[in-house]
Chains A and B, each alone.
Chain A
């Protein structure tokens, strides 16, 4: 890990503490997608420091407000702190303007903060999922200042596994139940194959009624449901 680190730039040195959850983009799976009338956000719950599992029960789906969720990949502290900050600003916005902040607005606000800190080693890769006056909406933002609207996103080390399951069955006209099952299955397969992903599988549905935490299941419970392996042990 330390071998490939570039020498610090003169003047703008920022110190790193080993054992901090910096760059655990390499150990997570988050996905979000948008169907007709609702959006889904799903994530695993493992946080790793190197190879050690720091926690198996982290909440990677952070509530910005009752209608907007941000998913967390990258440095845990950066995501938590700035989501909290955007959350409090969105509350103030609501008090000032007597209407809710839109998902586009919240993600733009978040993205603008990240642009301000560009080049200072913030590590954030986040999907902003929510429901507003214009329907369900979904953005991907990151610490480079990218902000992209889309229908399906996934990020983290297990995202390739999750996307390959998700892509196979995704349709925009999925019902809520189908979509939740698809999200759970996608995250499950990522937890199974990716060593940086694991713990519980969390799925949140966001629709006109707000956010609804529908799934919080342990990976262990789902093993026999999804993996049909007649001989799980190798032959010696």
Chain B
């Protein structure tokens, strides 16, 4: 709890399926050891890109505003929507810009590109981009989600199965982490639509 990255607490997981991605997070907003209330930690960027931010929540909000400025500017300039791959690079660049006074955040990006190819990525606090083709975890509960996620994830899951795997891994991890919880939400992104589902969590 002495670490600034763990001050607000978060659990986040993104998984990649067959023409679909999911991203889930808990809802708690901690300060140190107190649960203060609930906030959303996954932010919409475009219709097909979601940005999850863990770490210091004030930095998360600031960073989201800054990144949206760039995204919208690009939209106006070029009249097209940013692709998730490019968005990943943008985020990495914006974080590395602040190399010696970093944002205390770890972003997680999930999206579908124009060919409906799923894309997930995350970076560390100073913008080292990783783009795996299975799943990614972030936040204080990262290690605890990693075990179940490793066991539940498979290649080419359909949207419903992928949601189930995400939800189960997320719930299992959150229950073993004291500073995340208080409800959670999972977004399932398919070419047709985005589905938002709230999960019943322990409230302690």
Contacts and interface: CB of A to CB of B under 8 A. Distances in A.
A17 interface: no
Given A48-B178, A52-B177, A234-B37, A197 B1 contact: no
A233 B2 contact: no
Interface string A44-83: 0010101111001000000000000000000000000000
Contacts of A46: 178, 204
Interface residues of B, number: 27
Contact of A52 (B9, B34, B38, B178): B178
A178 to B, nearest CB: 24
B33 A26 contact: yes
A217 to B, nearest CB: 12
A53 B175 contact: yes
A49 B181 CA distance: 17
Interface of B: 1-2, 6, 9, 27, 30, 33-35, 37-40, 140, 144, 175-179, 181, 183, 185, 198, 202-204
Interface residues of A, number: 30
B204 A233 contact: no
Interface of A: 1, 3-4, 26-27, 46, 48, 50-53, 56, 157, 191-199, 219-220, 223, 227, 232-234, 236
20 contacts: A3-B2, A4-B2, A46-B204, A51-B178, A52-B177, A52-B178, A53-B176, A53-B178, A193-B34, A194-B34, A195-B9, A195-B179, A197-B204, A198-B204, A219-B202, A220-B202, A233-B27, A233-B185, A234-B37, A234-B38
Contacts of A4: 2
Q: Is the interface of A mostly helix, strand, loop or mixed?
A: loop
Minimum-distance CB pairs A-B, first 4: A198-B204, A191-B204, A219-B204, A223-B203
Nearest to A2: B2
B33 A52 contact: no
A75 B38 CA distance: 32
